[in-house]
Structure 1
């Protein structure tokens, strides 16, 4: 399976260029185009060496509240022996360029392009770039919602090229989803998948649902319906959707349109904020 993932490189536009771009933030969705991911908006993290990142989603009150998403850029020799400082956070890593040396609970793994890792809360993990090239990967983080009676999920290491996509019914194979986690495994409270549309494929209705979304376009281009607007998007763009934002898609081609998708799943809706003590009790019950 050939892949052609887009990864930002930073830099700055020239002074002669117009500032007109496609970035937009509304009360229902945001579009962060690839052209906004420049050097001036990168950030750094504690305990990470020779690493910078673009923060493309973070919990915001009144918007999307369940997750954060980073695009990490690790130079040769960089990485971290203490990457996650929140013991209640679960994470998904997806490599779009280079090779990552990941150690999780004492087992070492090499994540190549297309490599995926699910890391449950309290996993002891490290990540380094031991290659001569740049490493770029997505890191999606969420506070794990433990449920008494359900164990915490296991570490998952995979690569999308080894997974047969699940074709949506009645689409002639034009719309498919690459799933890294069994949808019936209720231990998981989030899914990160890859959605692929062949040229001409559509989402033929306005999806309107409780799941929040982060959609990073890995390849191709399309026109997306977001709330009341049709928005053109291409490889490197990011769409950030709050719950119940109507959404649909038309992939006009000429090539495949593919994106990395986050959504929250499999949990009751909280009816009141949990206290820190309640959060700690649930984490303890889940082991």
Structure 2
């Protein structure tokens, strides 16, 4: 069974050094797992037995297209009305524990590695049915509807059921596990798992219109973000604004893997608040 990175919780001792790896710039941010302590956790409205860490939210100079949260559900915790925004779509990924998810009356059980896509306007609920805490990533986005295209269907799958697709020319050292069909233009975002074998790398500085949220699931790596090189490891989160140059290599000794969000398949909006 794959083990995914998660924050340690608690609080550091008074003897700990303050200086760490957290970085916030106009082009990117790095939120190390170690700073996701109890003191920055927050409850959520209409959620019981749940605490959350907000990793990204729409705001000036930060994320523009999405919000991303880390949830910790105590046994029995969760919500029967988790999403107050009828325009919001969602993606869930279970890091550890179990989650009982119901979408429009259809019940599913998600284990570690389990992924769910929830269309905008769908009625859904989420509970922890087990006797141990459950932790998961929750990505929220205002869905960009297009005339003539319906919203996507729900998706329930575990990453173990999917075959990673090797990137061209990488000799299998760089691969992507896709939860959405890249040819399905109903989707305005993609969530994938990117895997690098030890020594694998992105061999050029990607510079593109897609905004990114990256949560490191396994291993460690060195990331080039704008003009800086930063070290990241399991449990860390990175935000990259559109056009932020990026590249990376896996630091070993094991695989380097992260959960990746990006906005896709829509023309850029030409007016503030306008739909593409």
Considering the TM-score relative to the shorter chain, is it more than 0.5? yes
2:65 corresponds to 1:28: no
Match of 2:120 in 1: 121
Would the aligned equivalents of 2:197 and 2:250 in 1 still touch at CA under 8 Å? yes
Alignment of 1:63-102 (within 5 A): 63-102=62-101
C-alpha deviation, 1:250, in angstroms: 1.1
Q: CA deviation at 1:34?
A: 0.9
For the Cα contact (< 8 Å) 2:8–2:34, is it kept in 1? no
State the 1:216 CA deviation. 0.6
Residue 163 of structure 2 corresponds to 164
Q: Which residue of 1 aligns with 2:213?
A: 214
Distance 1:63 1:112 in 2: 31
SS of 1:161's equivalent in the other structure is: helix
1:46-195 equivalences in 2 (<5 Å): 46-195=45-194
* Number of matched pairs: 276
Question: What residue is the counterpart of 2:245 in the other structure?
Answer: 246
Cα distance in 1 for partners of 2:62, 2:81 equals: 30
Residue 3 of structure 1: how far off its partner (Å): 1.1
Deviations 1:133-161 (A, max 9, x none): 11100000000000000011001000000
**In 2, distance between residues paired with 1:7 and 1:237?**
8
Q: CA deviation at 1:246?
A: 0.3
Structure 1 position 37, deviation (Å): 0.3
SS at match of 1:270: coil
- Cα distance between partner residues in 2 of 1:165 and 1:196: 8
Residue 93 of structure 1, CA deviation:
0.3
Secondary structure class of the residue paired with 2:160: helix
Contact kept in structure 2, 1:101 and 1:129, CA below 8 Å: yes
CA distance in 2, matches of 1:124, 1:34: 31
Unpaired stretches in structure 2, ≥5 consecutive residues: none
Per-residue Cα deviation, 1:98-156 (whole angstroms, up to 9, x for no partner): 01000101110000000000000011101111110111000000000000000110010
Whole-Å separation in 1 of the counterparts to 2:66 and 2:150:
21
Aligned counterparts of 1:252 and 1:222: Cα–Cα separation in 2:
5
**Contact 1:64–1:243 at 8 Å: present in 2 too?**
no
Deviation string 1:159-186 (CA, Å, 9 cap, x unpaired) is 0000000110111100000001100000
Residue 285 of structure 1: aligned partner: none
Residue 63 of structure 1, CA deviation: 3.1
Between the aligned partners of 2:234 and 2:6, the Cα distance in structure 1 is 9
Looking at structure 2, the residues matched to 266 and 210 of structure 1 have their Cα atoms a distance apart, in angstroms, of 11
Name stretches of at least 5 consecutive residues in structure 1 with no aligned partner.
283-287
- C-alpha distance in 2 between matches for 1:215 and 1:6: 12
Q: How does 1:222-241 map to 2 (within 5 A)?
A: 222-241=221-240
RMSD: 1.1
Q: CA deviation at 1:8?
A: 1.6
Query: Bigger CA drift: 56-65 or 117-126?
Result: 56-65
Alignment TM-score, normalising by the size of structure 2:
0.98
Secondary structure at the counterpart of residue 43 of structure 1: coil
TM superposition shift of 1:62: 3.4
* Correspondence 1:256 to 2:255: yes
**TM (normalized to structure 1)?**
0.94
